[in-house]
Amino acid sequence: MSFIQLNSLAKQFGPTKVVNDFSLSIPKGAFISLLGPSGCGKTTVLRMLAGLETPSAGSVVIDGKDVTGLKANQRQIGMVFQAYALFPNLTVAQNVAFGLRVAGKPRAEIDKRVAEMLELIGLPDLGSRYPFQLSGGQQQRVALARAIAPRPRVLLLDEPLSALDAKIRVSLRSEIRAIQRELGITTVFVTHDQEEALSISDQVVVMYKGIAEQAGTPFEIYNAPKTKFVATFVGTLNVLQGKVEDAAAGMVKVGETSLPLATPVAAARGADVLLAIRPESIRLKDAGTCNIQVPAEIGEVSFLGSVIRIRAQVLGTPVEFDMFNQPDMPPPVPGSRVTVGLNSRDLLLLDA
């Protein structure tokens, strides 16, 4: 059952179309990420959902009610911005209490709720501090607590972790997901970081040039991309240039080598196509277990601890693949010739 329904949303600033025919259905309690490069329209979609931007076309429906014409403060939505936007002259407790005070809640109820929120974000003893006395991660936790204190129906997060260092980002995103699950609040998260989106979302919507290129679970987005942009934007991808040799048999020729695909090709013989394969789908150690074996010349070898990243020439194309670090199996030497294995099911067919 859809709790939030975005129907053919569009937004135009002068002659520039920022969002075009964007539709999305969000179940109650789901964690949805809008993922895409800068300028793709993801924050504009979020702001239209929040009521901070008026759509040029389309509608926003929450819990069965069309809220397109309602102001932001009438939608029962909490929002956390990229900049923490805490009030510097208010203490942590006063910041968290702000929305409750605006709503006219009784003092006893406010104090109880603030204590609950500070406990929830792991800062129960810092209520009397001011924002400048907190770390970046602590400030973002306070911003989150302030957003959810009034018990909103929907929580919107606009790249809330981008100003933090990498280690804190990983920790805080897990905390945000845990809090979201505990509260069961429907959440929309905007990010350009694919690892963030894939690691914490129920569903990921990949955006490009104002449209939704693909929506699906992280597993679907990564393993079954439907467009060239999704395939190349999400994760690392090796791309091989080929020509259709036998469409019905699913045979594509790359250089002088014929590669069998798992399915027939919907293109004419001789048509240019692109074959894509993820680095983890290229095997060195157990190449013989794959249904395709091809020669490779090892280029650069980078030791990354638990993983060794290898750059090689495969079928005339530079590719990257990884192997796990194993003390009894040293990595190949640059310049050496080896055989690598691929499986037909791992080859993605893209239009050239």
Tokens matching residue 245: 């040799």
HSE-CB at 266 with a 13 A cutoff on CA atoms is 3
Tens digit of pLDDT for each residue in 293-347?
Answer: 999 999 999 998 888 999 999 999 999 998 888 888 888 999 999 999 999 999 9
Query: Tell me, what's the pLDDT at 205?
Result: 97
Does position 1 have pLDDT exceeding 80, yes or no?
A: no
Lowest average pLDDT, out of 40-49, 136-145, 164-173, 204-213, goes to 164-173
Mean confidence (pLDDT) of the chain = 93
Tell me the pTM.
Answer: 0.86
- pLDDT tens sequence across 190-241: 999 999 999 999 999 999 999 999 999 999 999 888 888 998 899 888 999 9
The per-residue pLDDT for range 332-346, each reduced to its tens digit, is: 999 999 999 999 999
According to the 3-state scheme, what is the secondary structure of 211-265?
EEEEEECHHHHHHCCCCHHHHHHCCCCEEEEEEEEECCCCEEEECCEEEECCCCC
Confidence band (pLDDT; 50, 70, 90) for 165? confident
- Sketch out the chain's domains with CATH numbers: 2-232 (3.40.50.300), 236-351 (2.40.50.140)
Per-residue pLDDT of 77-125, as tens digits, reads: 999 988 878 999 999 999 999 999 999 999 999 999 999 999 999 999 9
SS3 (DSSP) at 124: coil
